[in-house]
Chain A
């Protein structure tokens, strides 16, 4: 997915930690092979390569993911959409097929959230794990329990251009997603409604219990230009959303 995954957990023995890490890695690799645009052999890459063919039939797992992403598109009034370039209400056809004609799938802004969600579920299911801090590329953070020496996990988000701290967030078993502009790489989020890159410098911080809600929320809030924050907060169950013009 073109980024890195790191985490800290407390509780498990070294042996248990290695086992848990192996499971997490396996989960990440499975998702990578399914959703990554950076991996030419992933299922999404394969589907995109035949997107003009009409109805295509993804695996059951990918179909479920596409359907879930479609739901997020509805919840965000189209501010979030993994189907770039299509104008259809839905690409999911009756039966098991999808129609990608005129567009392609891009799970950026979704895949990291999904992996965080699955990783969090995996770690929560491990009895030995007392607390955990999971960082996906520095922009998607999920937590379990609290810092070993504190009553929460404190995360500070800085202006990527000036280094000035914008906000400090206290996470208690919740997740954080940060989206927006960054130096040397400003045009990386597209408005799915127009197909154009978002212009101007901004940064959005979203917190939610579900990492995927936070991830989708931050991307959608950037696309909205900060205009539909309350709507997104309500529909995506965000505990907080902050928009900064940089």
Chain B
């Protein structure tokens, strides 16, 4: 092995400590029951996994995202060992091989799946191939970790979901927010009533970039810039929106029953086929809405997932919450929050004497103590500390123990179906309802 493990030679325990902290807290069992996918990667189960050695991992798709996973895997040698690499684009395969020279190289993923010395597979290929490769992985008896979204079409989603339910293999989708401690904590805070009844959701993801990659030769345009073409991509909704819609379904425990919206190619009129601007409203059966918006020609608003409650608002991406009637913070503490966020604004005084109950505006509180995130929404590969490392490590652990992570596939299925419904609504200019044949028992409306 020539894996570079000098940076972090041991298993990262931050998520485990977090989980352990939840378990130790008052009502910890209840808290964990709200995020059941974490029960497959507890510290105790990690010890069991480590004692059995690292999972042998193969990576299909070694482009930018695949190499991002490689860098993460090299930091978790006790649970994951890269033994095989596959890409049908030679430059990407060679770049990955340079990172892990000992790994066997394949240009055809089916050959990789025949590799008997392989426990699990990571799929980091264009969306259009997710379903096919995932189905083949499960058929080959390999545990599987696939990038989001689940698939390019609803029919493919149904096939993958059915195959997963019939399989004893582990399947993960890289919905990393489910493993990001600030999101997990926020899910629990919301479910335990921090902001009262959830009355609405507002999510957006803005960037100002063309979403293109350099193409060395024109015939490679559709392969390298696959995100721009409908044969391989469902555009902003699956690439960005799926993460955020998923947050809303987790928070509410419900799935919207319909969606309407508009999309268009507003600025990047360069031959692309997917929208560069989308605006949709998802509607729940009880009348609540998700306002969703994304565009890639203005980055002013960055990325946010706001859960609006009767008593407060949680902004999960920033790791903060605000209370409608906030009586806890004034003066210097509020000023401190402003300075940390680079904001110049008025500081409310407590009043004639110290009675910290006068608030005329909303003050951010940290979801995790002393931790807030700056979210520009710019990253295409992976933001630091966004849960990508943790979910990958949880997958490796599950490859060893064989324990599936509850709800991960179900949430990925719901999010993908909802995103594809959104695309259909924008394409047809109509209100699209959840197709009956796409409903699964997990869905509650």
Q: Which residues of A line the B interface, CB within 8 A?
A: 2-4, 6-8, 133, 135, 137-139, 141, 147-150, 153-158, 160, 163-165, 168, 176, 178-185, 188, 203
Contact = CB atoms under 8 A, between A and B. Distances in A.
Nearest to A4: B354
A185 to B, nearest CB: 7
A139 B333 contact: no
Contacts of B360: 156, 158, 163-165
B339 A182 contact: no
B345 A158 contact: no
Contact of B352 (A4, A160, A165, A168): A160
Contact of A139 (B339, B347, B350, B359): B350
Contacts of A185: 353, 355
B352 A203 contact: yes
A138 B328 CA distance: 13
A139 B349 contact: yes
A105 B352 CA distance: 21
B335 A168 contact: no
Interface of B: 330-333, 335-336, 339, 342-360
Contacts of B351: 138-139, 157-158, 160, 178, 180, 182, 203
A202 to B, nearest CB: 9
Given A154-B345, A160-B358, A165-B360, A138 B336 contact: no
Contacts, number: 105
Contact of A133 (B335, B346, B356): B335
B332 A8 contact: yes
A182 B352 contact: yes
Nearest to A178: B352
Contact of B346 (A138, A139, A155, A181): A155
Given A138-B331, A156-B348, A188-B353, 10 more contacts: A138-B330, A138-B350, A138-B355, A156-B346, A158-B358, A160-B351, A163-B358, A180-B352, A182-B351, A203-B352
B344 A183 contact: no
Given A138-B356, A139-B353, A133 B332 contact: yes
A149 B339 contact: yes
A47 B334 CA distance: 39
Question: Which of A2, A137, A178 is packed against the most chain B CB atoms within 10 Å?
Answer: A137
A139 B358 contact: no
Contact of B355 (A8, A141, A149, A182): A182
B347 A181 contact: no
Contacts of B348: 155-158, 165
A168 B346 contact: yes
Contacts of A149: 339, 342-344
B326 to A, nearest CB: 11
A220 to B, nearest CB: 14
Nearest to A141: B349
Nearest to B336: A8
B352 A181 contact: yes
B303 to A, nearest CB: 22
Nearest to A147: B344
